[in-house]
Amino acid sequence: TQLLEQSPQFLSIQEGENLTVYCNSSSVFSSLQWYRQEPGEGPVLLVTVVTGGEVKKLKRLTFQFGDARKDSSLHITAAQPGDTGLYLCAVPPRASSGSARQLTFGSGTQLTVLP
């Protein structure tokens, strides 16, 4: 069972549409990060959410951390072709895990915004 489940796995929409992608788990996390990876490049950190219920905005992107800190969503308003990419969520290890340093990544949502 994956620690982080991202949905949908693939999403193709027209320019100007709105969309939401999700990152879910049965575990509680101290924080959660969202990254975007463009084709042929490494992931780039977009945001870190820390507090349950927290909402952060980055231009047309809205990130929310669930009240119970088990899940998160990313909403994009009026999507543009430049938003195309793989969206990854990541969490730090739980206190009980063996290593305190590595991040665990979801498998991502591949978003394509068509002009």
Partner 1 sequence: DVKVTQSSRYLVKRTGEKVFLECVQDMDHENMFWYRQDPGLGLRLIYFSYDVKMKEKGDIPEGYSVSREKKERFSLILESASTNQTSMYLCASRWPGVGAFFGQGTRLTVV
List interacting residues with partner 1 (CB under 8 A).
31, 33, 35, 40-45, 48, 88, 90, 92, 99-103, 105-108
Separation CA 80–CA 93 (nearest Å) = 34
Nearer Cβ to partner 1 (12/18): 12
Residue type, 40: G
Which among 97, 77, 56, 11 is positioned nearest to 45, based on CA atoms? 56
Burial class (CB in 10 A: 0-12, 13-18, 19+), 4: buried
Nearer Cβ to partner 1 (42/82): 42
Nearer Cβ to partner 1 (66/106): 106
Q: Least distance to partner 1 from the beta carbon of 73, Å?
A: 18
Q: Least distance to partner 1 from the beta carbon of 60, Å?
A: 20
